[in-house]
Structure 1
Amino acid sequence: MRVAVAGGTGTVGRPVVEALTAAGHEPVVLAPSRGVDLVTGDGLAEAMAGVEAVIDLANKVTMKAAEARAFFEAGTRNLLAAGERAGVRHHLLLSIVGCDRVETGYYAGKLRQEELVRTGSVPWTIQRCTQFHDFAGQFMASMPGPVAAVPRVPNQPIDTRDVADVLVGLVAGEPSGTVPDLAGPRREILLDQARRLVRVRGGKRLVLRLPLAALGRAGRQMAEGGLLPTEPGPRGTRTFDEWLAGRAGAARR
Structure 2
Amino acid sequence: MRIAVAGGTGTVGRHVVAIAKERGHEVISLSRAEGVDLVTGRGLDQALQDVETVIDVAGIGTMSTKKAVDFFTNATQNLLAAGKKAGVKHHVALSIVGIDNANSGLYAGKLVQEDEVRHGGIPWTILRSTQFHEFVPMSVKATSLGPLVFVPTMFTRPVAAREVAAALVDAAEAGPKGRIPDLGGPRTERLKDLVAACLARTRQKKRIVPLHVPGPMGKAWRNGALIPAPGSAVGRQTFLEWLEAIDAA
TM-score in same-fold range (> 0.5): yes
Equivalence for 1:219: 218
| Post-superposition offset of 1:234 | 1.7
| Post-superposition offset of 1:164 | 1.1
Q: 1:54–1:92: 8 Å Cα contact kept in structure 2?
A: yes
What amino acid sits opposite 1:136 in the alignment? V
Q: 1:28–1:47: 8 Å Cα contact kept in structure 2?
A: yes
Equivalence for 1:137: 137
Q: What secondary structure, in the 3-state scheme, does the structure 2 residue paired with 1:100 have? A: helix
Q: Which runs of 4+ in 1 moved over 6 A?
A: none
Equivalence for 2:237: 238
| Post-superposition offset of 1:104 | 2.5
| Post-superposition offset of 1:217 | 3.6
Equivalence for 1:6: 6
Gaps of at least 5 residues in structure 1 are: none
Q: 1:201–1:248: 8 Å Cα contact kept in structure 2?
A: no
Q: Does 1:192 align with 2:202?
A: no
**What are the within-5 Å matches in structure 2 for residues 15-164 of structure 1?**
15-145=15-145, 146-164=147-165
Tell me the distance in 2 between the aligned counterparts of 1:215 and 1:49: 45
| Post-superposition offset of 1:232 | 1.0
Tell me the distance in 2 between the aligned counterparts of 1:31 and 1:231: 35
| Post-superposition offset of 1:99 | 1.3
Equivalence for 1:179: 180
Q: Does 1:247 align with 2:246?
A: yes
| Post-superposition offset of 1:86 | 1.1
1:124-180 Cα distance to aligned partner (Å, 9 max, x none): 001000000021222222223220111332110000111111111110112011111
Relative to the length of structure 1, the TM-score reads: 0.95
Relative to the length of structure 2, the TM-score reads: 0.96
| Post-superposition offset of 1:209 | 2.0
Q: 2:134–2:161: 8 Å Cα contact kept in structure 1?
A: no
Identity, in percent, stands at 46
In structure 2, the CA distance between the partners of 1:231 and 1:136, relative to structure 1 (3 Å rule), is: same
Tell me the distance in 2 between the aligned counterparts of 1:171 and 1:38: 20
Tell me the distance in 2 between the aligned counterparts of 1:68 and 1:169: 27
What amino acid sits opposite 1:244 in the alignment? L
Equivalence for 1:205: 206
Equivalence for 2:227: 228
What amino acid sits opposite 1:17 in the alignment? V
Tell me the distance in 2 between the aligned counterparts of 1:120 and 1:81: 8
Q: 1:157–1:240: 8 Å Cα contact kept in structure 2?
A: yes
| Post-superposition offset of 1:215 | 3.0
What amino acid sits opposite 2:42 in the alignment? D
What amino acid sits opposite 1:153 in the alignment? M
Tell me the distance in 1 between the aligned counterparts of 2:117 and 2:60: 18
